[in-house]
Amino acid sequence: MVPEAQPVVVEAQGAKTFAVPQALFDKHPGKPHLAFEEYRAKYKESIENPTQFWGDLARELLHWDIPFQTVKNGGFETGDVSWFMEGRLNACYNAVDRHAFAEPNGPAVIYEADEPSDGRIITYSELLREVCKLAYTLKEMGIKKGDTVAIYMPMIPEAIVAFLAVVRIGAIHTVVFAGFSSESLRDRVQDAKSKVVITADEGKRGGKNIATKKIVDAALEECPDVKNVIVYRRTGNEVPMKEGRDVWWHDELSKYPAYCPPELMASEDPLFLLYTSGSTGKPKGVMHTTGGYLVGAAATGKYVFDLHPGDKMGTAGDVGWITGHTYCVYAPLLLGVATLVFEGTPAYPNFSRYWEIIAKHKLTHFYCAPTALRLLKRAGDHHIKGDLSSLRILGSVGEPIAEEVWRWYHEKVGREECHILDTYWQTETGSHVITPIGGCTPTKPGSASLPFFGIEPAIVDPVTGRELVGNDVEGVLVIKQPWPSMARTVWGSHQRYMDTYFNVYKGCYFTGDSAARDYEGYYWIRGRVDDVVNVSAHRLSTAEIEAALIQHPAVAESAVVGVADELTGQTVNAFVALKDAYKNTPEMRKELTMQVRKSIGPFAAPKAVYIVDDLPKTRSGKIMRRILRKILSGEEDQLGDISTLSNPSVVEHIINVVHET
Ligand code: ATP
Ligand code: MG
């Protein structure tokens, strides 16, 4: 059994278990939604009787205009999973109207602009009016139920207005992260067959202007089906407007009334399409549906983040990723709490920006990716300042979080007063699947801990495909039964959906990640299946070796990949970016090798350590190990799709380093 929540740290088989800090209970507005025994009981119920469990939760968390009769139908084998079928509801009504009616002046969006002085707060009633006017505009443009609308917007409140206006009239949003190039935008607009694009004249990030509208214009040269572009004036600088196609947001919205009735949608009607970040290859247009997705978002917002009335949720991630969709937009708004929209970067005007935002708005929750935490840890602890005592929950998402970084987050940012949530999930899962429950689950640094309600994970032997039962096992992570917020298809390619997720291990959803389940049933995500290195029959996780490397004071970031070797099967190779004060010397490379030997064992020691300026990353900040693997195996001409890289020029630099070493 896992120890019960109490303010002590217990040593258990090497990994320390952290109880929920007493300080969290002391500052809590009431008490957390769940105690650990309640989680255990509810979890059991959710697996044994999912129909009862999800039916009750769906009725509790959402407003249904027409109630559902059937909770769940279909399965993985047939690819026809569906939830709450007869139910009718509207996502925007659930996220905005009901709160605007109950508490019109409650804060909905906390806008923190790139320049710290430019922000503002938008109430639920203001949000409703703005959403309605945009919804009207879209209707007048001829957008109907089932049409797709692309959103290519900076992180400003109008991005959220756009999400909600689209779903209010029953259209489907497809949000493209505004850091993507015109080619990437073009591909996504074409694939989704979007009829309208909502954008801004320019963006502002880190003190620089970004030519948002120009990128849209270039993308749309090859998108004849786009009839209109709605342009929000963010900076006011001159941008070209195409006659007959482009309109100004403020001109159009000023024509229409501030109330527009929401469209009644079937539970299984599509809510949005979102393209995956492309870490593993060509991005997939993942489709989510209305009822199931919203139930997943609201349920995890309530239980995982332990959101309570009056809380202020700070998701740092962009709305262009699933994290932004679910935890910047839908979950907080469905629960009627305020959500942060942060336009800038963690480094502007300086490395204290995140902490200043938290202190200024008294955020209770903060949620970001390990890549941002590594950047801030690298910059130095003296940047962490201000009163952060409002915080109860600190979340991490997107990549495994190394123990070293977890502890830094806990000690330096959370001052040991917050619950650290390492949340594991995917674009395809829609909401958290393996995660601690806020204020409830004892945690271990580096482990995403235990499954959320309704999620039945299993570890499968990658070779035989057989399930590995019991604890202390490691292999491929799959999920054994459907849950409401899972993706229903890959847009335009249901066969790809079946092949990618359900035809790999029959009867299961294949996550593409590998994981270990420890002696207490805690899950440790090891990274992508391809990222496991097999050395002399030892299955080593790249995440584990990277976590060992980052313990060295000189290391800012690292990426480990396996390369085929005749003798040992594969060898371990490490790419390391050093902190500014450290130099690339043969001694340093030796020290780093020693670091891994000491911390994991000689068998895990890297055969080569490459010191590089930076690692190849997706625009969502994830390290793309597949590129490093290709470079090492001499397949530089077959790097595949690198259009989703945030720093393409680093590829050539790394190739040079590899050749010189
Ligand atoms: P693509 O599917 O196109 O390769 P992607 O998988 O990076 O892109 P996302 O859906 O944004 O796109 O990311 C989900 C993946 O991120 C997971 O499959 C996992 O590899 C990783 N991940 C997310 N959260 C965690 C976490 N807490 N710990 C470890 N890994 C995580
Ligand atoms: Mg993926």
Q: Is residue 523 assigned to a domain?
A: no
Q: What is the pLDDT of residue 661?
A: 80
Output the pLDDT for position 584. 93
Is the CB–ligand 1 distance for residue 423 below 6 Å? yes
Q: Measured from the CA of 283, which atom of ligand 1 is nearest?
A: 3
Residue of 427, 477, 644 to test ligand 1 pocket, by largest number of atoms within 8 Å of CB: 427
pLDDT tens digit string along 529-569?
988 888 877 878 888 899 999 999 999 999 999 998 888 88
Is the pLDDT at 5 greater than 50? The verdict is: no
Question: pLDDT at position 366, please?
Answer: 98
- Residue 273 φ then ψ, to 5°: -115, 140
CB-based burial, 535-558: b 16+ in 10 Å, e otherwise: beeeebbbbbbbbbbbebebbbbb
Confidence of residue 281 (pLDDT cuts 50, 70, 90): low
State the CB neighbour count (10 A cutoff) for residue 661.
11
- pTM for the model stands at 0.94
Is 446 a pocket residue for ligand 1 (Cβ < 6 Å)?
no
Q: Which of 319, 427, 316 is nearest to 375 (CA)?
A: 316
Kindly state whether residues 567 and 442 are assigned to the same domain: no
Range of the domain at 443: 22-456+491-511
For 296-310, 368-382, 499-513, 647-661, which range has the lowest pLDDT when averaged over its residues? 647-661
Q: Residue 201 in contact with residue 236, Cβ under 8 Å? A: yes
Specify whether 246 is located in the same domain as 311: yes
- pLDDT digit string, tens, across residues 643-660: 778 888 899 999 999 998
Assign 330 a pLDDT band (cuts: 50, 70, 90): very high
Asked if residue 485 belongs to a domain, the reply is no
**Burial readout 197-236 (b: 16 or more C-beta within 10 A, e: otherwise):** bbbbbbbbbeeeebebbebbbebbeebeebebbbbbebee
297, 329: one domain: yes
> Left, alpha or beta for 201 (phi > 0: left; psi -120 to 50: alpha)?
alpha
Cα 284 to ligand 2 centroid, rounded to whole Å: 9
Q: Is 350 inside any structural domain? A: yes
The end-to-end CA distance of the chain, in Å, is: 49
Give the 3-state secondary structure of 54-108.
HHHHHHHHCCCCECCCCCEECCCCCCCCEECCCCEECHHHHHHHHHHHHCCCCEE
600 confidence band (pLDDT: 50, 70, 90): confident
Here the CATH number for the domain that contains residue 571 is 3.30.300.30
**C-beta of 318 in contact with ligand 1 (< 6 A):** no
Ligand 1 pocket, residue 514 CB under 6 Å? no
Q: Which of 268-272, 329-333, 556-560, 642-646 has the lowest mean pLDDT?
A: 642-646
Residues 497 and 361 in one domain: yes
- Which of 277, 432, 497 to mutate to test ligand 1, by most ligand atoms within 8 A of the CB atom? 277
pLDDT band of 280, cuts 50, 70, 90 = low
Number of domains within the chain: 2
Is the pLDDT at 11 greater than 50, yes or no?
no
Q: Give the closest residue (by CA) to ligand 1 atom 15.
A: 426
640 assigned to some structural domain? yes
What is the b/e burial string over 150-189, where b = at least 16 CB atoms within 10 angstroms of the residue's CB?
bbbbbbbbbbbbbbbbbbbbbbbbbbbbbbbebebbbbbb
> Are residues 204 and 250 both part of a single domain?
yes
Which ligand number lies closest to the CA of residue 514?
Answer: 1
With a cut of 90, say whether residue 455 has pLDDT above it: yes
Q: Are residues 650 and 507 part of one domain?
A: no
Indicate if 495 and 566 belong to the same structural domain. Answer: no
DSSP state of 504: S
Per-residue confidence (pLDDT) for residue 392, from 0 to 100? 98
Residues with Cβ < 8 Å from 585, sequence gap 6 or more?
none
Is any ligand 1 atom within 6 A of the Cβ of residue 397? yes
**Residue 551 falls inside a structural domain:** yes
Give, in degrees to the nearest 5, the angle at Cα 229 between 186 and 115.
90
Residues 581 and 446 in one domain: no
- Within 13 Å and on the Cβ side, how many CA atoms surround 187? 14
Do residues 505 and 637 both lie within one domain? no
CATH number, domain of 151, equals: 3.40.50.12780
The alpha carbon of 306 and the centre of ligand 2 are apart by a number of angstroms equal to 26
Side-chain half-sphere exposure of 34, counting CA atoms within 13 A? 25
Q: Distances from the Cα of 120 to the Cαs of 126, 199, 248, 363, 386, in angstroms?
A: 12, 20, 21, 15, 20
- Give the 3-state secondary structure of residue 594: helix
Nearest CA residue ID for atom 23, ligand 1: 398
Query: Across the chain, what does the average pLDDT equal?
Result: 94
- The residue whose C-alpha atom lies closest to atom 27 belonging to ligand 1 is 424
Residues 446 and 576 in one domain: no
376 pLDDT more than 90: yes
CA–centroid distance, 624 to ligand 2, in Å, is: 12
Q: What is the pLDDT of residues 470-489, one digit of tens each?
A: 999 999 999 999 999 999 99
Residue 12 covered by a domain: no
Per-residue pLDDT of 183-229, as tens digits, reads: 889 999 999 999 999 999 999 999 999 999 999 999 999 999 999 99
Q: Where are the alpha helices (DSSP H) in 396-500?
A: 403-408, 494-497
Q: Is the CB of 513 under 6 A from ligand 1?
A: yes
What is the C-alpha to C-alpha distance for residues 524 and 543, in angstroms, rounded to an integer? 10
- The reply to whether 517 falls in a domain is no
Q: Are residue 443 and residue 390 in the same domain, yes or no?
A: yes
Q: Which atom of ligand 1 is nearest to the CA of 323?
A: 11
How confident is residue 9, by pLDDT bands cut at 50, 70 and 90? very low
Q: Which ligand is nearest to the CA of 424?
A: 1
Give the tens place of pLDDT for each residue, 515-532. Answer: 999 999 999 999 899 888
**Reported confidence tier of residue 282, pLDDT bands at 50, 70, 90:** confident
Element (H, E) at 205: strand 203-205
Same domain, 234 and 305: yes
425 pLDDT higher than 80: yes
Of 5-9, 151-155, 328-332, 549-553, the least confident: 5-9
Distance 427 CA to ligand 2 centre (A): 7
Q: Does residue 399 belong to any structural domain of this protein?
A: yes
